[in-house]
Amino acid sequence: MRYSGLKVITEGLFGNKGWKPAWRDPAPKAEYDAVIIGGGGHGLSTAYYLAKNHGITNVAVLEKGYLGGGNVGRNTTIVRANYFLPGNSEFYSHSLKLWEGLEADLNYNVMHSQRGLINLFHSDGQRDAFARRGNAMINQGDDAILLDREGVREHLPYLDFEQTRFPIYGGLLHPRGGSARHDAVAWGYARGADRRGVDLIQNCEVTGIDIENGVVKGVQTTRGAIRAKKVGIVVAGRSSQVAAMAGMRLPIESHVLQAFVTEGLKPVIDHVVSFGMGHFYISQSDKGGLVFGGDLDFYASYAARGNLPMVEHVMEAGMTLMPMIGRAKVLRSWGGIMDMSPDGSPVIDKTHVEGLFLDCGWNYGGFKAVPASGWCMAHLMATGESHEVARKFRLDRFATGHLLDEEGTGSQHNLH
């Protein structure tokens, strides 16, 4: 069923009785050309682009819970392409272009809103670094505008510019940055993949990966064995456990990242604002809630909830930056489990097993990467070659020293 304004009107006239489920609920078949482990944003987009770009439609997505029930439903929905390093820059630029055409492509409203992202800076040195980053973004073909203090004040008059600890010197505006509705992204890709023939199989946990003589043959699941010529592991948050089924030890440590949302308020924050020095960023959802977060709790965790010191730190940073939010009531907080890689960049690569592919290590930046990650993973699974914008996301780059350390803090698990 194609969605349209006319469809909404006609359904409204006839009691909304004509709507159908957005995707089927098939039983797993005995064999597929390709199996994707993980029905989150990245897994669903991988399946979608396998079908759409490569004509591979005999595909199953295996999800142990429900579609979009993991990190794609537990993030702060920021979409941006403000990376500096070659390798990252072209990948996120590609992703942002896909975001811009996503709703028309999927025939699904993902509420993508390019409201502009402003990264604040607080010293002369930081201004230089941000000017350089902005130039890199422009060279990549994206947009960046360096704002001085008065320029920031025009956009964000409510900030405390005179705070003593981090007085605001200016900001880097990325007008095409913004946010989107996270659940809708998962649902849109799920519906798009299903319409092209992909089987989306929920409540189906993979318990083993069948490998014979170094070649993948299929997977064992809680709903029986499924043979497959190619298998993609796309389970960020649980990558180490699934990769261990194939005898792999990954360069990943799982950490918890907390986020918070307030009660719904009238429109007050029009942009995505990032306050790096305070480890704080914020935007306002279309529903009105202020959505904000900070840094990792900084210890390995799978608890999907954090500790109070980071809650306090995030609230303090928010009050330092914009005291006006002090009366807003926090409704909810939650924690997402991040695949943290030593250099803070992801992996989209082959493995030592023929036919087994790996997409993992999304750190705290997986949401904006959903379209390009699926695009590149599908390309890798279909052709056996890395896509040109993901060619540096190598699994062996830590051993070879070809790091993608965007922060420049070093290749160590506890530094990103």
Question: What is the binding site for other proteins (CB under 8 A)?
Answer: 238, 240-241, 244, 249-254, 298-303, 307, 309, 342, 398-399, 411-414
For residue 197, give every residue at least 6 positions away whose Cβ sits within 8 Å of its Cβ, in sequence order, or none. 51, 57, 58, 59
In angstroms, what is the minimal distance from the CB of 299 to other proteins? Answer: 4
Query: Hey, what long-range contacts does 24-27 have (CB within 8 A, 24 or more apart)?
Result: 24/194, 24/199, 24/200, 25/200, 25/202, 26/199, 26/200, 26/201, 27/201, 27/223
In angstroms, what is the minimal distance from the CB of 234 to other proteins? Answer: 17
Axis crossing angle, helix 89-100 with helix 370-383, rounded to the nearest 10: 110
DSSP 8-state class, residue 18: -
Q: Please identify, using beta-carbon distances, which residue of 107 and 307 lies nearer to other proteins.
A: 307
In angstroms, what is the minimal distance from the CB of 254 to other proteins? Answer: 6
Q: Please identify, using beta-carbon distances, which residue of 87 and 171 lies nearer to other proteins.
A: 87
Extract the tokens encoding 170: 């200016």
In angstroms, what is the minimal distance from the CB of 317 to other proteins? Answer: 15
Dist. CA 285–CA 270, nearest whole Å: 10
In angstroms, what is the minimal distance from the CB of 411 to other proteins? Answer: 7
Q: Please identify, using beta-carbon distances, which residue of 136 and 250 lies nearer to other proteins.
A: 250
Dist. CA 167–CA 31, nearest whole Å: 60
Name the CA radius of gyration of the chain, rounded.
22
Q: Please identify, using beta-carbon distances, which residue of 90 and 339 lies nearer to other proteins.
A: 339
State the amino acid at position 113 in one-letter form.
Answer: S
Dist. CA 132–CA 91, nearest whole Å: 19
Q: Please identify, using beta-carbon distances, which residue of 126 and 254 lies nearer to other proteins.
A: 254
List C-alpha distances in Å: 208 to 7, 204, 219, 233. Answer: 44, 12, 6, 12
Extract the tokens encoding 248: 């792999």
Dist. CA 40–CA 390, nearest whole Å: 20
In angstroms, what is the minimal distance from the CB of 65 to other proteins? Answer: 15
φ/ψ of 293, rounded to 5, equals -160, 180
Using CB atoms within 10 A of its CB, is residue 264 exposed (0-12), middle (13-18) or buried (19+)? Answer: middle
Q: Please identify, using beta-carbon distances, which residue of 194 and 406 lies nearer to other proteins.
A: 406
Q: Please identify, using beta-carbon distances, which residue of 252 and 321 lies nearer to other proteins.
A: 252
In angstroms, what is the minimal distance from the CB of 398 to other proteins? Answer: 4
Q: Please identify, using beta-carbon distances, which residue of 298 and 334 lies nearer to other proteins.
A: 298
In angstroms, what is the minimal distance from the CB of 253 to other proteins? Answer: 5
